[in-house]
A and B are shown apart, each in its own frame.
Chain A
Amino acid sequence: MILVIGGAFQGKQQFARDISGLEDWADGRTCGEEELDTCSGMIHFHEYIRNRLAKGQDCTGIAERVARTNPNVVLVANELGCGVVPMDAFDRRYRETVGRICTGLAAEAEAVYRVVCGIGVKIK
Chain B
Amino acid sequence: MMGLPMFHVITGGSGSGKSAYAEQCVLDLGPAERIYVATMYPYDEECHARIARHRQMRSRKQFATVECYTGLAGLRVPAGSVVLLECMSNLVANEMYQEQGAGEGTVEAVTDGIDSLLGQAGHLVVVTNEIFSDGLQYDEETARYQRYLGEINARMGCLADAVTEVVCGIPLTVKGGKSS
> Interface residues, chain A, CB within 8 Å of chain B?
3, 5, 7, 79-85, 89, 92, 95-100, 102-107, 112, 114, 123-124
**A84 proximity list for chain B (CB < 8 A):** 131, 134, 136, 138, 142, 145-146
Q: Which residues of A contact B130 (CB under 8 A)?
A: 81-82
| Structural contact, B138 and A81, CB atoms closer than 8 A | no
Contact B133 A89 (CB under 8 A): no
- With contact pairs A3-B168, A84-B136, A123-B167 given, residues A103 and B131 touching in the complex (Cβ less than 8 Å): no
Residues of B within 8 A of A103 (CB): 15-17, 168-169
Q: Most A CB atoms within 10 A — which of B13, B15, B16, B130?
A: B15
> Are B14's CB and A85's CB within 8 A?
yes
Q: A5-B167, A89-B46, A123-B167 are in contact. Are A81 and B15 (CB under 8 A)?
A: yes
Is the contact region of chain B dominated by helix, strand, or loop, or is it mixed? loop
CB-CB under 8 A from B16, the residues of chain A are 81, 99, 103
Q: Is the CB of A112 within 8 A of B131?
A: no
Q: Shortest Cβ distance from A105 into chain B, in angstroms?
A: 7
With a CB–CB cut-off of 8 A, which chain B residues contact A89? Answer: 46
Chain B, interface size: which category?
Answer: 20 to 34
Distance in Å from the Cβ of B123 to the closest Cβ of chain A?
25
- Tell me the complex Cα distance, A102–B135, Å: 22
A95-B168 in contact (CB<8A): no
Known: A5-B167, A79-B167, A123-B172. A99 touches B13 (CB 8 A): yes
- Complexed CA–CA distance, A43 and B26 (Å): 36
| Measured CA separation A92–B170 after assembly (Å) | 22
A83 touches B133 (CB 8 A): yes
> Given known contacts A82-B131, A83-B131, A84-B142, is B14 in contact with A106 (CB within 8 Å)?
no
Is the CB–CB distance between B15 and A96 below 8 Å?
yes
Q: Is B132 an interface residue (CB 8 A)?
A: yes
Beta-carbon contact of B132 and A82 below 8 Å: yes
Query: How far is it, in angstroms, between the C-alpha of A120 and the C-alpha of B131 when the chains are bound?
Result: 23
Question: What are 23 A-B contacts with C-beta separation under 8 Å?
Answer: A81-B13, A81-B15, A81-B130, A82-B14, A82-B131, A83-B133, A92-B46, A95-B13, A97-B15, A98-B15, A99-B16, A99-B168, A100-B17, A103-B15, A103-B16, A103-B169, A106-B168, A106-B170, A107-B169, A123-B167, A123-B168, A123-B172, A124-B170
Complex interface bits, B21-58 against A, C-beta within 8 A gives 1, otherwise 0: 00000000000000000000000001000000000000
> Given the complex, which residues of B lie within 8 Å of A80, measured CB to CB?
13-15
B146 partner residues in chain A, CB cutoff 8 A: 84
